[in-house]
Chains A and B, each alone.
Chain A
């Protein structure tokens, strides 16, 4: 039996993105974020998730990100980071074949590639690269 790889298709920071389901812990309803005084760049604050504080990404810190709208849900990544999402589109299967190189995309530093869905190339977020970006932002503060 071949393994089917699912993606979460969502809207965030004014654009549509894809997230491999394997990188997700769960998707929960958005709740107010408690801002953290003097918190690190790229983190807007924390929410309580399963009894622990969960850092929530500040899209504004991602280079090239548009103005984020009000979040409806929170995608909880495996490395325990919350991504505020403005909406969910679906959970498509990842098409066969390699993803395209995202080097011309403004979000390239945090992408695993561009995935062809229908007639569009959508950015696939790479959580490890996103974390690396957050660490870089902190180190230059």
Chain B
């Protein structure tokens, strides 16, 4: 792949992420100025995408982006009302562009029309927004401004003035005098503060004929009222607020006809002064990942030096050194905080993946006539940004498959005694060093007999041999395998299941499929996290420290008698088997047994279900937060999901699920006497 345009591709990804976020804002009731800011941002995003596509040499994509830009332009001029169907069309359009862009990045040829699926809806919207001949309404004359200033308003600003007056919102002017040395920063700051209180329509330079030094500006802001204190003006900037446009002066005949110009007032728009914060365009700092890597490595070296210094201080055993030791503690806490912040810079919430799926499911559900109830879980978890980019396309393919092949038609479902509406549940959870995604549907499940027959026909299976359900499900991940005679319009084209598997395995992950006839299917993706901050219980066995993720710790308990592996111990009224951590990890067990026990349970397991056991350790040190680094494949050790650098060396963080499994193996060996 040519990497010379990596930055441009990455910026396109950012623009799509922003567009999805802005569309999500439009879907919830918001004050008009917040809606307007979002529409403006969408207009800018599609405009930039148009330019970037042109730069990359994709004229058809550029045309499609231009068409979406036009729709957002009509919206920002107030010529299109924000309705559910409009938002659905916009979501589908953005989704189509994003998917098209992903295809282009993979080297696929340009499509004839990226927006073909919403061509009819776009045509209707354009027709709806077209003003009747000679009927362009302009109410800017109602503004209490000198003619030369009125003349300087752009067409867009005139449309907005007209729209907000028709919507019954006052237009205020804010005049400020700014220092020549920093007027650009100050104007931006005051504009943002004004925009948070209402819709900022225009910023006009003023000519003032008085003896004050500085540059003068007039900001036109639509809002029921403005708070001058909230502008954050500095002494000498002399902000003054004046009323420039009164909606009561709009002729009654025009007010009676709301026309296509004004955006609908939000149902629960808060009063002025209590407006929610406006999503601001924040400056995005794009950094090559290797610079963050280098910074992390440097920080790690600093942490090592700190640990050495701390050890040296301890060895002096001087009571007068307590204050420096306390300072060392503060340095350690600060370093961990910086490391966590650096880690967060790489991370993105799983929710942003879910945001990409939702509009696609809605659109497919409508096109295929399959009503579906979509639910998400675990959106607050985080994964590395680099993984998200690679995961999106395979994920969308799996969801498309679930809708196309998994869920039955409503009539088929009713005939089987199922609810007419299908269910698609997508969940994310953290399991040990892995982030796990489950995609579950309650559809027909995989037709294993058909898969087996197809596998035999393709020479992938031997006839006459017994094949397990797991084998047959796995067969669907083989290159070229398909039970579809012809590709459907929805799936069976482009990315295949083998490509999904290759992509997931390329990230060091795994894919598993299971299903039950007429009950549904589950596709499980497990992806390793290379770094994470994990809350742990720190324990010690011999001279080695270990961290046990708190998510799996049920209770910590001391026993009056020393216990050895195979003994039982009562924990919270339940008798649990005990195994020594050393036995689990193949380390020499302590001869005198162990008195400290950590009761573990499987994550998410209800109190009465799931595996529980007591892990014997030599010492319980306490709770701590650790910056976990995963182990490379070559150093993978059973029961250990990674390590964290500590003053006394590397602390190994246990994978509780794997440790429980090792403990059960060890207990069984004890029973068997081997």
Q: Does A30 make an interface contact (CB < 8 A)? A: no
Q: Contacting B635 at CB < 8 Å: which of A50, A51, A53?
A: A53
Q: Are A55 and B293 in contact (CB under 8 A)?
A: no
Q: Does B649 make an interface contact (CB < 8 A)? A: yes
Q: Are B297 and A40 in contact (CB under 8 A)?
A: no
Q: Contacting A43 at CB < 8 Å: which of B293, B296, B635?
A: B635
User: What 1/0 flags go to B441-456 for Cβ under 8 Å of A?
Assistant: 0000000000000000
**17 contacts across the A-B interface (CB closer than 8 A):** A37-B586, A37-B640, A38-B585, A38-B586, A38-B637, A40-B634, A40-B635, A43-B634, A45-B635, A46-B650, A48-B645, A51-B293, A51-B297, A51-B299, A55-B634, A81-B634, A131-B634
Q: Does B217 make an interface contact (CB < 8 A)? A: no
Q: Does A80 make an interface contact (CB < 8 A)? A: yes
Q: Does A39 make an interface contact (CB < 8 A)? A: yes
- Which residues of chain A are within 8 angstroms of B642 by Cβ–Cβ distance? 53
A46 CA to B615 CA, complexed, in Å: 26
Q: Does B320 make an interface contact (CB < 8 A)? A: no
What 8 A-B pairs are tightest by C-beta distance, nearest first? A51-B297, A55-B635, A37-B585, A34-B650, A55-B634, A50-B297, A51-B300, A39-B637
Q: Are B632 and A38 in contact (CB under 8 A)?
A: no
State the Cβ distance, A34 to closest chain B Cβ, in Å. Answer: 4
Q: Does B366 make an interface contact (CB < 8 A)? A: no
User: What 1/0 flags go to A40-60 for Cβ under 8 Å of B?
Assistant: 100101101011111100000
Q: Does A27 make an interface contact (CB < 8 A)? A: no
| B585, B587, B635, B638 — most chain A CB neighbours (10 Å) | B635
Chain A's interface size range is 20 to 34
Please report B residues at the A interface, Cβ cutoff 8 Å: 293-294, 296-297, 299-300, 304, 544, 585-587, 629-632, 634-640, 642-643, 645, 649-650, 652
Q: Does A61 make an interface contact (CB < 8 A)? A: no
State the Cβ distance, B538 to closest chain A Cβ, in Å. Answer: 16
Q: Contacting A134 at CB < 8 Å: which of B304, B634, B640?
A: B634
Please report A residues at the B interface, Cβ cutoff 8 Å: 34, 36-40, 43, 45-46, 48, 50-55, 80-81, 131, 134
Q: Are A46 and B636 in contact (CB under 8 A)?
A: no
Q: Are A36 and B304 in contact (CB under 8 A)?
A: no
A48 CA to B646 CA, complexed, in Å: 12
State the Cβ distance, A30 to closest chain B Cβ, in Å. Answer: 15
- Which residues of chain B are within 8 angstroms of A39 by Cβ–Cβ distance? 635, 637
A77 CA to B640 CA, complexed, in Å: 24
| B299, B629, B634 — most chain A CB neighbours (10 Å) | B634
State the Cβ distance, A49 to closest chain B Cβ, in Å. Answer: 8
Please name the residue on chain A nearest to B636 by beta carbon.
Answer: A40
Please name the residue on chain B nearest to A35 by beta carbon.
Answer: B544
A134 CA to B640 CA, complexed, in Å: 19
Q: Are A80 and B632 in contact (CB under 8 A)?
A: yes
Please name the residue on chain B nearest to A31 by beta carbon.
Answer: B304
A36 CA to B651 CA, complexed, in Å: 10
Q: Are A36 and B637 in contact (CB under 8 A)?
A: yes
Q: Are A51 and B296 in contact (CB under 8 A)?
A: yes
A40 CA to B636 CA, complexed, in Å: 7
A40 CA to B632 CA, complexed, in Å: 12
- Which residues of chain A are within 8 angstroms of B632 by Cβ–Cβ distance? 52-55, 80
State the Cβ distance, A28 to closest chain B Cβ, in Å. Answer: 12
Q: Are B640 and A38 in contact (CB under 8 A)?
A: yes
State the Cβ distance, B573 to closest chain A Cβ, in Å. Answer: 33
A50 CA to B636 CA, complexed, in Å: 19
A37 CA to B632 CA, complexed, in Å: 15
A106 CA to B585 CA, complexed, in Å: 33
- Which residues of chain B are within 8 angstroms of A134 by Cβ–Cβ distance? 634
Told that A36-B635, A36-B637, A37-B639 touch, could you supply 5 new A-B pairs with CB distance under 8 A? A53-B629, A53-B630, A55-B634, A55-B635, A80-B634
Q: Contacting A37 at CB < 8 Å: which of B297, B300, B634, B652?
A: B652
Q: Are B637 and A40 in contact (CB under 8 A)?
A: yes
Given A38-B640, A39-B637, A53-B643: A46 and B297 interface contact (C-beta under 8 Å): no
- Which residues of chain A are within 8 angstroms of B629 by Cβ–Cβ distance? 51-53
Please name the residue on chain B nearest to A32 by beta carbon.
Answer: B649
State the Cβ distance, B97 to closest chain A Cβ, in Å. Answer: 37
- Which residues of chain A are within 8 angstroms of B296 by Cβ–Cβ distance? 51
A120 CA to B636 CA, complexed, in Å: 38
Given A37-B637, A53-B631: A46 and B293 interface contact (C-beta under 8 Å): no
